[in-house]
Structure 1
Amino acid sequence: MIDQNGGATASGSSLPAAVVPESIAMSATPPVSTVVSHALPLEKPGAVRTRTMVILAFWAVIIFFGFPMWWKTTSVYRASLPLDEMTSWAEDKACKPEFPLEIILRTPSISLAEAQGLLRTTQHALDDLNEFPVHHLRLKLAEHTETAENKLDIDVEMVDNSNTALVVNLISKEEIPAPISELHSYSPRMDIWYPPSQLPSVTSTTSPLITFIAGEIQKLFNEEKATIAHILGHDFNSISPTMAEIVSKRVTRSLKYAETYHLSFSLFTPGSQPSSWEIEDAIQEYMLPLLHAFSPISNFSIDTQVQLYASFSPSSPHPEFDEAAQQWTLKEEHLSAFINAAEWPLSPSIGSGPTINFVLYVPAPSQSPLVVKESQATSWIVPQWGGVAIVNPPLAAATSSNPSYLTKESLKPALLTFSHQLLTLLGTPATPSSLPLRLQALIRTRAASLLLSASSTMGSLARLTQSLSSIPIPLNVASSVITTLSHLASTCQLLREGKFTSALASARVAEKEAEKSFFEKTMVGQMYFPDEHRIAVYLPLLGPIGVPLAMALLKELKNLITDFRQRRTKK
Structure 2
Amino acid sequence: MWASASFVGVLIVIGLPLWWKTTEVYRVSLPYDKISSFDTLSHSITTELTVLANDEATAAEIIRQIEYAFKDSDVTKLKITKSLISKQLLSTLDAVADEHEAVEEVGAVYDLTKHNTFYVVQRKPLFQDTWLAGDRIIFILSGLISILTASNTVAEALKHVVYQTSVVEGARSEAADAARQTRFPPGAGYHIVLSVAHPRPDALKVELDADYIGSFVDELSVLHNFTLKSQWLHLLDFDFQAKELEERTATHVSELPTINLALYAVPCERAPLVIYDSDGEISNIVINDEVGASINSAVESIQRASELMARGDLLQAYNMSQSAFLAAETAFMEPSLLALLYFPDDQKYAIYIPLFLPIMFPVVLSLKNLLLWFRGKPIHKEKTE
Bin for the TM-score computed over the shorter chain: 0.7 to 0.9
1:105 aligned counterpart, secondary structure: strand
- Contact in 2 for aligned 1:268/1:360 (Cα 8 Å): yes
Residue 252 (1) aligns with residue 179 (2): yes
In structure 1, what is the Cα distance between the partners aligned to 2:196 and 2:85?
55
Task: After TM superposition, give the deviation of residue 287 of structure 1 in Å.
Answer: 2.4
In structure 2, distance between residues paired with 1:85 and 1:64: 39
**Structure 2 counterparts to residues 448-463 of structure 1, below 5 A:** 463=280
Verify: 1:286 aligned to 2:235, yes or no: no
What stretches of structure 2 of length at least 5 have no aligned partner?
94-103
Partner of 1:565: 378
In the alignment, the residues of structure 2 paired with residue 306 and residue 374 of structure 1 have an alpha-carbon distance, to the nearest angstrom, of: 20
Aligned counterpart, 2:97: none
> 1:86 corresponds to which residue?
35
Q: How many Å apart are 1:300 and its aligned residue?
A: 1.6
1:102 lines up with 2:43 in the alignment: no
Deviation at 1:209, TM superposition (A): 0.8
Which residue is equivalent to 2:57? 117
- Return the letter of the residue paired with 1:357: L
Match for residue 263 of structure 1 among 192, 202, 207: 192
Cα drift, residue 297 of structure 1:
2.2
1:501 paired residue among 304, 315, 330: 315
Q: Percent identity?
A: 19
Aligned equivalent of 2:119, options 144, 167, 172: 167
Q: Which of the numbers 344, 354, 357 marks the counterpart of 2:261?
A: 357
User: SS of the counterpart of 1:464?
Assistant: coil
Q: 2-side partners of 1:130 and 1:483: how far apart?
A: 34
Structure 1, residues 183-230: CA drift from partner, whole Å, max 9, x if none? 225x42223343xxx24xxxxxxx531331342243243151111222
Give the equivalent residue in structure 2 for 1:230. Answer: 170
Tell whether 2:25 aligns with 1:208: no
2:227 maps to 1:301: yes
Cα distance change, pair 155–306 in 1 and its aligned pair in 2 (3 A): same
Matches of 2:380 and 2:182, distance apart in 1? 86
Written as runs of structure 1 = structure 2, the 5 A alignment for 1:167-566 is 167-173=119-125, 179-185=128-134, 187-194=135-142, 198-199=143-144, 207-222=145-160, 224-233=164-173, 252=179, 255-256=182-183, 260-266=189-195, 283=210, 285-303=211-229, 312=237, 316=239, 335=240, 337=241, 340=244, 343-345=247-249, 347=251, 351=255, 353=257, 355-358=259-262, 370-371=267-268, 373-375=270-272, 463-465=280-282, 468=283, 471-517=285-331, 521-523=335-337, 526=340, 528-529=342-343, 533-547=347-361, 553-554=366-367, 557=370, 560=373, 564-565=377-378
The Cα offsets for residues 221-243 of structure 1, whole Å up to 9 and x where unpaired, read as 31511112223449xxxxxxxxx
- Would the aligned equivalents of 1:168 and 1:191 in 2 still touch at CA under 8 Å? yes
TM-score, scaled relative to structure 2: 0.72
Q: Which one of 126, 133, 152 corresponds to residue 105 of structure 2?
A: 152
* In 2, Cα distance between equivalents of 1:255 and 1:155: 42
| AA partner of residue 257 (structure 2) | G
Which consecutive residues of structure 1, in runs of 5 or more, have no partner in the other structure?
Answer: 1-51, 200-206, 235-246, 317-334, 362-368, 384-461
Q: Which amino acid counterpart does residue 96 of structure 1 have in structure 2? A: S
Candidates 63, 67, 79, aligned match of 1:127: 67
Q: CA 1:270 to 1:216, structure 2 compared with 1: closer, same or farther past 3 Å?
A: closer
How many correspondences in the alignment? 360
Q: Is the 8 A contact 1:102 1:139 kept in 2?
A: yes
d(CA) in 1 for partners of 2:253 and 2:69? 45
Supply the distance in 1 between the matched residues of 2:52 and 2:374 (Cα, whole angstroms).
101
Shift of 1:59: 4.2
Aligned-residue offset at 1:69 = 3.1
DSSP 3-state at the match of 1:160: coil
CA distance in 1 between partners of 2:19 and 2:297 (Å):
34
> 1:477–1:517: 8 Å Cα contact kept in structure 2?
yes
Cα distance in 1 between the residues matched to 2:310 and 2:269: 47
AA at the equivalent of 2:373 = L
Q: Deviations over 1:415-443 (max 9, x none)?
A: xxxxxxxxxxxxxxxxxxxxxxxxxxxxx
- Opposite residue 216 of structure 2, the aligned amino acid is L
Deviation, 1:564, is: 2.8
Contact 1:105 1:168 in 2 (8 A): yes
Deviation for aligned residue 1:502 = 1.8
SS in 2 for 1:565: coil
Larger Rg: 1
- 2:375, 2:33 → 1: CA distance? 57
